[in-house]
Amino acid sequence: MEFDKDFFAENLIQLRELNSLTQKQLAEKIGLKTSTVGSYETGASLPSIDSLLKIATILNVSINKLLTGKEINQVSELAEAQVGYGIKEANDQLQKETTSLSRELAMAREFLEDRRKQIERLEGEKKKLEDRVIHLNGELDKCEKEVQSLKTQKEA
């Protein structure tokens, strides 16, 4: 934010007049020449920090009010507006990231659902194979009994 000398000059005149002071009276209270106060009011020069403090005290305003016309709470409102803008940008970014994460989550859910179906299919195939093994073991038992029976007949 750039300092506005013209605003300061006009503001100084208004504040001085609101306090019913002439340039000469203000100059005397500050301890400066009348022409110096005049140069402040035309924007030809700016007061030192020490003189700013004295002027603000005499005119019963804050230095901020003297320089910018705004009290601190108004400056705070500007800062809050800037922070609010930053919050909006952050919120927009968060919304984009949330949307992106939601898409990724949906893709992950779809992937997991496909894998679940694949596991169910494989478990079904495993069950069929286990049943087949049980059946073949039964057939093997029959064959072994038959072989045993044939051995017994051959020995007899």
pLDDT bucket at 79, cuts 50 / 70 / 90: low
Q: What is the CATH number of domain 5-70?
A: 1.10.260.40
The model's pLDDT over 84-139, given as tens digits with 9 standing for 90+, comes to 666 777 777 878 888 887 888 888 888 888 888 998 999 999 999 999 999 999 99
Q: What is the mean pLDDT of the chain?
A: 86
Query: Residue 17: what pLDDT?
Result: 95
Average pLDDT over residues 40-59: 94
Give the H/E segment covering residue 91.
helix 72-155
Residue whose C-alpha is closest to residue 58's, from 77, 32, 87, 86: 32
- 69: three-class secondary structure by DSSP: coil
Residue whose C-alpha is closest to residue 16's, from 54, 50, 58: 58
pLDDT bucket at 55, cuts 50 / 70 / 90: very high
Query: Residue 72: what pLDDT?
Result: 63
Report residue 107: phi and psi, to 5°. Answer: -65, -40
Residue 83, pLDDT above cutoff 70: no
In angstroms, the Cα distances linking 63 to 10, 57, 60, 96 are 15, 8, 10, 43
What whole-number percentage of the chain has pLDDT above 90?
Answer: 55
Query: Residue 53: what pLDDT?
Result: 93
What are the residue boundaries of the structural domains of the chain, listed by start?
Answer: 5-70
Query: Which residues, 6 or more positions from 71, have their beta carbon under 8 angstroms from its beta carbon?
Result: 62, 64, 65
Residue whose C-alpha is closest to residue 50's, from 40, 63, 41, 33: 63
Give the H/E segment covering residue 25.
helix 23-30
Residue 2, pLDDT above cutoff 80: no
